[in-house]
Chains A and B, each alone.
Chain A
Amino acid sequence: MYLAAVIVFLALILLPPIIGIFTKWNTIQQVFDQPPLMDRALTAVANSFVIALLVSALDVLAGVPMAWLITRGKSKWLNVLDTTADIPFIVPTAALGYSLLLFWNGPEGLSALFGGSLISTGWLLIVLLHFAFSYPIVVRVLVGALLDYKMEYEQASRTLGAPPFIAVRTVTFPILKPALIAAFILSFARSLSETGATFIVAGAFENGPVFLQDMKNEFSSGVVSQVTYEGATVFASLLLIAISLSIFALIRILGPKLRLPFDRVWPSIERKLSYSKAATSRNSVTLIVFVAIVLVPSLFVALPAFQALFTGTFSAAVSGSGVWGDYWQSLLLSYLLGAIVTLIGFIVGLPMAILIARKKFGKTPSTVLDILVNVPLIVPSIALGVSLKFFWQSFAFIPEFLLLVFAHLAITYPYFVRSMSAAFERISLDMEEAARTLGAKPFGVFRTIMLPLAKYSILSGAIMVFTRSISETGATLAVLAADSPLKTAPVVIVDWVKGVVPATSLEIGLGCGLLVLFSFLILLLLRLVSRGKGRY
Chain B
Amino acid sequence: MPEVRVVNLTKKFGDIVALDNVNLVVNDKEYFALLGPSGCGKTTLLRLIAGLIEPDEGEIYIGGKRVDDVPPEDREIGFVFQTFALFPHLTVWDNVNYGPRVKNFDPKESGTIVGEVLEMVKLHERLDAYPNELSGGMMQRIAVARALAAGAKILLLDEPLGQLDAKVRNEIRYEMRKMAKDLNLTAIHVTHDQAEAMSISDRIAVMKKGKIVQVGTPQELYMNPTSLFVANFIGESNFLEGSVADATNGKLVIELRGGVKVHAFGKGVEKGDRAIVVVRPEVFVVEREGNQGGNVLRGVVGKITFEGTFVRYVIKLESEDSVVVIKPSLTEKWFDVGASITLSFEPEKAHVFPYPEAGLTEEISV
CB of B268 within 8 Å of the partner chain: no
Distance between Cα atoms of A383 and B83 in the complex (Å): 49
CB of A502 within 8 Å of the partner chain: no
Give the contact-size bracket for chain B.
20 to 34
List the B residue with the shortest CB-CB distance to A170. Answer: B102
CB of B192 within 8 Å of the partner chain: no
Whether A159 contacts B102 in the complex (CB less than 8 A), given A150-B83, A175-B87, comes out as: no
User: In the complex the two chains form, is B79's CB within 8 Å of A155's CB?
Assistant: yes
User: In the complex the two chains form, is A163's CB within 8 Å of B71's CB?
Assistant: yes
Whether A267 contacts B52 in the complex (CB less than 8 A), given A159-B147, A160-B78, comes out as: no
User: In the complex the two chains form, is B99's CB within 8 Å of A161's CB?
Assistant: yes
Distance between Cα atoms of A159 and B81 in the complex (Å): 11
Q: Which one of A171, A177, A267, A275 lies within 8 Å of B87 (CB-CB)?
A: A171
Distance between Cα atoms of A291 and B51 in the complex (Å): 35
> Per-residue 0/1 for A138-181: is the Cβ within 8 Å of any B Cβ (1 yes, 0 no)?
00000000000010110111111111101100110011010000
Q: Which one of A155, A157, A158, A175 lies within 8 Å of B88 (CB-CB)?
A: A175
| Chain A stretch 251-275: residues in CB contact (< 8 A) with chain B | 263-267, 275
> Per-residue 0/1 for B297-325: is the Cβ within 8 Å of any A Cβ (1 yes, 0 no)?
00000000000000000000000000000
User: In the complex the two chains form, is A158's CB within 8 Å of B52's CB?
Assistant: yes
Q: Which one of B75, B85, B101 lies within 8 Å of A156 (CB-CB)?
A: B85
Distance between Cα atoms of A255 and B82 in the complex (Å): 31
| Chain B stretch 71-101: residues in CB contact (< 8 A) with chain A | 71-75, 77-79, 81, 83, 85, 87-89, 98-99, 101
User: In the complex the two chains form, is A160's CB within 8 Å of B104's CB?
Assistant: no
Distance between Cα atoms of A167 and B150 in the complex (Å): 14
Q: Which residues of chain A have C-beta atoms less than 8 A from B102's C-beta?
A: 157, 160-162, 166-167, 170, 265, 267
User: In the complex the two chains form, is B85's CB within 8 Å of A150's CB?
Assistant: yes
User: In the complex the two chains form, is A155's CB within 8 Å of B85's CB?
Assistant: yes
User: In the complex the two chains form, is B104's CB within 8 Å of A163's CB?
Assistant: no
Distance between Cα atoms of A275 and B50 in the complex (Å): 18
Task: Give the distance to chain B from A284, nearest Cβ to Cβ, in Å.
Answer: 23
Q: Which residues of chain A have C-beta atoms less than 8 A from B79's C-beta?
A: 155-156, 159
CB of B66 within 8 Å of the partner chain: no
Q: Which residues of chain B have C-beta atoms less than 8 A from A159's C-beta?
A: 50, 52, 72-73, 75, 77-79, 147, 150, 156
CB of B103 within 8 Å of the partner chain: yes
Distance between Cα atoms of A160 and B103 in the complex (Å): 9
Distance between Cα atoms of A167 and B78 in the complex (Å): 15
CB of B189 within 8 Å of the partner chain: no
Distance between Cα atoms of A51 and B328 in the complex (Å): 81
| Chain A stretch 174-213: residues in CB contact (< 8 A) with chain B | 174-175, 177
Q: Which residues of chain A have C-beta atoms less than 8 A from B151's C-beta?
A: 161
List the A residue with the shortest CB-CB distance to B52. Answer: A155
Distance between Cα atoms of A265 and B100 in the complex (Å): 11
Task: Give the distance to chain B from A177, nearest Cβ to Cβ, in Å.
Answer: 8
Distance between Cα atoms of A515 and B75 in the complex (Å): 57
List the B residue with the shortest CB-CB distance to A162. Answer: B102
Whether A153 contacts B87 in the complex (CB less than 8 A), given A159-B52, A265-B104, A267-B104, comes out as: yes
Most chain B beta carbons < 10 A, residue from A167, A171, A177, A263: A171
List the A residue with the shortest CB-CB distance to B81. Answer: A152
> Per-residue 0/1 for B130-158: is the Cβ within 8 Å of any A Cβ (1 yes, 0 no)?
00000000000000001100110000100
Distance between Cα atoms of A160 and B148 in the complex (Å): 9
Whether A158 contacts B89 in the complex (CB less than 8 A), given A150-B83, A265-B104, comes out as: no
Most chain A beta carbons < 10 A, residue from B78, B88, B89: B89
| Chain A stretch 267-323: residues in CB contact (< 8 A) with chain B | 267, 275
Whether A175 contacts B89 in the complex (CB less than 8 A), given A155-B72, A156-B81, comes out as: yes
Q: Which residues of chain B have C-beta atoms less than 8 A from A263's C-beta?
A: 101
Distance between Cα atoms of A156 and B82 in the complex (Å): 11
Q: Which residues of chain A have C-beta atoms less than 8 A from B78's C-beta?
A: 159-160
| Residues of A participating in the B interface, judged by any CB pair closer than 8 Å | 150, 152-153, 155-164, 166-167, 170-171, 174-175, 177, 263-267, 275
| Residues of B participating in the A interface, judged by any CB pair closer than 8 Å | 50-52, 71-75, 77-79, 81, 83, 85, 87-89, 98-99, 101-104, 146-147, 150-151, 156
- Rank and list the top 7 A-B pairs by shortest CB-CB distance, nearest first: A159-B79, A162-B102, A152-B85, A156-B85, A160-B99, A158-B72, A160-B150
